[in-house]
């Protein structure tokens, strides 16, 4: 079950559902990575303010905004700010090359871009070969409007028009191009909520390289709605994931089949029994058995 959902069916969007879940939660951390933390209060304040800032800068309903960031804190803010502005977020793979990004931006029909300091060199170069006309950035990126400035410039802007949950796009995926409606994203939340039982004391760890972009975004949203914390692992190695499990005292982790096998047969001690492991793909029976017998972990498919 999704917690904190108070919006009506007629105007249901994931962003409204997430913002409703933020009420009364203080400033507990909801997303963390690389020593950064995003709290509930910061998220609840920044998303609508940034959405108004985007509209002040000319973003209109139905515009597509490419999102090329490596940090899940930035990803959560960017996806929901773009959506709250009435535009369509198009998250792009953080590791893609400039040439690949340019193709994806053009496929998505992106008119503006949100990037970060780690990814800006490639995404800014790609923007030069695309239809992108405005760039917003987390951190200090020459030639881009800082995200924090959006929080200051949106005063007086009206709210975005309400979308049709069944028809209007809430997420655009590329290669091949695919629009995900608001109803689709809510269905993703219910599906993931049925596979991953999370509460306020839980921490879910995941590396974005292990899952499709749609699932990556959906897992962050699930934690936001259910009150759990999402911890991102920037590097793709199994050892990095294990270190994150210990550092964040994780109770759940999402991996692909290859990463599961690497974790199952790791030669080092893993002082984290009771972890709920969700596998995005078909795990080998040997890896499932090894995780249960060697580490005391339960293993289930991420449906």
Asked if pLDDT for residue 216 goes beyond 80, the answer is: yes
For residue 162, what pLDDT band results from cuts at 50, 70 and 90? Answer: confident
pLDDT, residue 263, reads 85
Mean of per-residue pLDDT scores for the chain: 88
Domains, the chain, ordered by start: 9-181 (3.40.50.980), 183-301 (3.40.50.980)
pLDDT, residue 7, reads 44
For residue 229, what pLDDT band results from cuts at 50, 70 and 90? Answer: very high
- Phi then psi dihedrals of residue 75, to 5 deg: -60, -45
pLDDT, residue 269, reads 59
Cβ atoms of residues 42 and 50 within 8 Å: no
For residue 11, what pLDDT band results from cuts at 50, 70 and 90? Answer: low
Query: Lowest-pLDDT range, 94-103, 149-158, 256-265?
Result: 149-158
For residue 165, what pLDDT band results from cuts at 50, 70 and 90? Answer: confident
The answer to pTM > 0.85 is yes
For residue 192, what pLDDT band results from cuts at 50, 70 and 90? Answer: confident
- Decide which of 195 and 38 is more confident: 38
């Amino acid at each position: 079950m999704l917690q904190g959902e108070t919006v009506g069916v007629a105007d249901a969007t994931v962003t409204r559902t997430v913002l409703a879940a933020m009420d009364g939660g203080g400033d507990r951390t909801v997303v963390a990575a690389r020593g950064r933390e995003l709290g509930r209060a910061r998220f609840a304040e920044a998303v609508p303010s940034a959405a108004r800032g985007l509209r002040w800068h000319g973003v209109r309903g139905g515009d597509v905004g490419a999102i090329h960031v490596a940090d899940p804190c930035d990803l959560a803010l960017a996806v929901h700010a773009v959506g709250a502005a009435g535009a369509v977020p198009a998250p792009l793979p953080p590791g893609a090359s400039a040439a690949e990004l340019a193709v994806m931006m053009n496929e998505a029909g992106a008119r503006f871009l949100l990037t970060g300091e780690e990814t800006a060199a490639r995404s800014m170069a790609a923007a030069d070969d695309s239809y992108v006309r405005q760039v917003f950035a987390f951190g200090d990126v020459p030639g881009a409007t800082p995200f924090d400035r959006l929080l200051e410039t949106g005063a007086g802007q009206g709210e975005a028009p309400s979308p049709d949950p069944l028809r209007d796009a809430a997420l655009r995926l590329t290669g091949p191009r695919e629009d995900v409606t608001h109803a689709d994203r809510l269905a993703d939340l219910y599906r993931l909520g049925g596979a991953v039982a999370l509460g306020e004391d839980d921490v879910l760890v995941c590396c974005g390289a292990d899952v499709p972009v749609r699932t990556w975004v959906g897992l962050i949203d699930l934690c936001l709605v259910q009150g759990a914390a999402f911890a991102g692992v920037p590097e793709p190695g199994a050892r990095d994931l294990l270190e994150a499990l210990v550092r964040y005292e994780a109770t759940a982790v999402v991996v692909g089949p290859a990463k599961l096998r690497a974790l199952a047969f790791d030669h080092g001690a893993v002082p984290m029994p009771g972890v709920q492991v969700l596998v995005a793909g078909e795990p080998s029976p040997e890896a499932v058995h090894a995780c249960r017998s060697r580490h005391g972990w339960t293993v289930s498919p991420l449906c």
